[in-house]
Amino acid sequence: KSAEEKGIKVRTFVEGQPPHWAYGSPQHVHHLVTVMSASLREVAGAENLEVHVSFPAKPNCYGMLLSFTLGSATNPEQLCRRLVTLTKDSATVGGPRRGPELALASAWQLALALRANPSIQPTADQKVRVQLALPLPALGKGHVPSDSNKMVLS
């Protein structure tokens, strides 16, 4: 079911200027955002979810910062501990994980495979933020990559 059907408020924000070209897989990034959003909503029992996508520029390399901010009735410290435990053990095959916990583990492993720098922290406003800092090696304007791992971002 969609978030709207379940009464969950989802807001999305995009900030910053993406690079013109970058190496990477748009399908992997799309899959990461959709699976991470859905699984975090379910695992956290979220009442609302904010997804922020931003592009902080660094010399010779761009990044994509994905932030998932969860509003839940669960105590933020408890929820952080639960998410840390689930993601820490995400590489372990088997176990009692099913459904959204398994989806979260697979999304976490995809983020790590994409060389993301992840973090899970409570926020000052009693929410929980999951951040994934993804590197996006940029190409110069006018340079078109010849392989299938190109993303057109603008």
DSSP 106-152: HHHHHHHHTT-EEEEEE-TTS-EEEEEEEEE-EE-TT----SS-EEE
Residue 15: CB partners within 8 Å, gap ≥ 6? 52, 53, 54, 55
The beta-strand segments (E) located in 40-99 are 46-54, 57-58, 61-72
Residues of the chain with pLDDT under 70: 1-8, 20-23, 57-61, 93-97, 137-154
pLDDT score of 47: 86
- Beta-carbon-side half-sphere exposure of residue 119 (alpha carbons within 13 Å): 10
Q: What is the largest CA-CA distance in the chain?
A: 50
pLDDT score of 39: 92
Q: Which amino acid is at 85?
A: T
Q: Which residues of 13-38 are buried (b: 16+ CB within 10 A; e: fewer)?
A: eeeeebbbbbebeeebbeebbebbbb
% of the chain surpassing 70 pLDDT: 73
| Residue position matching structure tokens 């009693």 | 126
Dihedral of CA atoms 82, 95, 35, 109 in degrees, nearest 10, equals 90
Quickly count helices (H) and strands (E) in the chain: 3, 9
